Amino acid sequence: MELSVIVLILSFAALLALSVPIAISIGIATTITMLFTIAPGPAVTTIAQQMTTGINNFALLAIPFFILSGQFMGRGGIARRLIDFARVLVGRLPGGLAFVNVLACMFFGAISGSAVAATSAIGGFMIPIMNREGYDKNFNTAVTVTAATTGLIIPPSNILIVYSLASGGVSIAALFVAGYVPGILMGLGLMAICFFVAKKKKYPVGGRENFITGIKHFLNAVPSLLLIVIVIGGIIAGIFTATEASAVAVIYSFILSVVFYREVKLKEVPQILLKTVEITAVVMLLIGTSKAMSWIMSYENIPQSISYALVGMTDSKFLILVIINVILLAVGTFMDITPAVLIFTPIFLPVVLQLGLNPLHFGIIIVLNLCIGLCTPPVGTVLFVGCGVGKTTIARVTRSMLPFFAVMVIVLLLITYLPELSLWLPRVFGLL
């Protein structure tokens, strides 16, 4: 192994062990490695160039717009209306509040594009209600944390935009459409666990909503759900690009939150804009440093070496995909989803292309893998937020999450080995 590769791995691991923020760890490890590879002057210049090039992409403009849209939706009373609507649909099932939690997280995650926002917004409402109804608070937190990740698969999703960049230009529209079936399958799998746990522990069944109330909750939720129809429908119909759709999403969410629902006051808009800038800055720093690390890895032929090693290890497509999934699941436990996609897509994409996989299909596989990592210690950001909202500890929640992890892995394997689950819908809409 080359000295520079050893330096990259050891420095990055050491920085993570010291709890240095992931973006800073990637940047410092890349800088140290470049100092071993090329002269100090050109090394610094190269890093700056690669970071600038990494974020100099028109498609990435969609990310701050979707973040801003999610901020408006998060503060605009959307969560409460989606919970009420979800209760109408599934509230009468055994363990109905758990079903409501999952479905509301799916709705809100898809609208906001943020698993953390879904955990905070939906969990903040649902976990206290479920606690009062006699549900175990660790189970309640586990439901929220795992269900919130479905919003990263069900479009619009910022991480699918990041994968499009990392893969060299896979269609964002096709990725968005490809995420629907896997995301819904994940949600149904989580609901199945909720059903069995509710039956075993005899959790209460929700009351029946009368017809008039049900219609009222449906009508209240429709304007929020229309955001998905407008954004995805506009992209599929060719009315606007994904980046233009993100700007439309901002306008729509602003009108909905400020004018229609009147939950957001005009004086709060500067604070929302500031929060959006803060989140965007973190995301762009992650993208910039990750692209720099990807460049040094390509310079040292690391992706090619790993590709040759995997293909040389076995000619079984089944085993190679198992190995890739295991590696990605392990990576997800200590690395945030954005840098992981940017770093490991160039490594594994050449391998799966040799196996005959569609890059669109692989995009869903890698994102699903890393979504599971958001729920696992020691770096699971969604897990940390969920424990804070649920007022419990990671150790206690992790035990309750084991059956949910199992079903998430089962869905991952289905998506991995049944490519049509991801590719069928894009084909129907002529995106493949």
Instruction: Give average pLDDT by consecutive 10-residue segment, the chain, 432 residues.
Output: 77 86 87 76 79 85 88 79 82 82 86 81 86 89 92 87 89 92 94 91 74 82 86 86 89 89 88 91 89 84 78 83 92 86 90 91 95 83 87 87 94 95 92 82
Sign of CA dihedral 410, 412, 415, 421: positive
For the chain, state the CA radius of gyration.
Answer: 22
The pLDDT, as a whole number, for residue 178 is 94
CB atoms inside a 10 Å sphere around CB 186: 29
pLDDT of residue 208: 66
DSSP conformation class of 171: -
Q: 144: Cβ–Cβ under 8 A, 6 or more apart, which residues? A: 101, 105, 119, 122, 123, 126, 127, 386, 389, 390
Q: What one-letter code names the amino acid at 177?
A: V
Cis status of the peptide bond prior to 378, with omega within 30 of 0? yes
Q: Which residue has the tokens 């901020």?
A: 71
Structure token pair of residue 26: 């990637």
pLDDT value for 206: 67
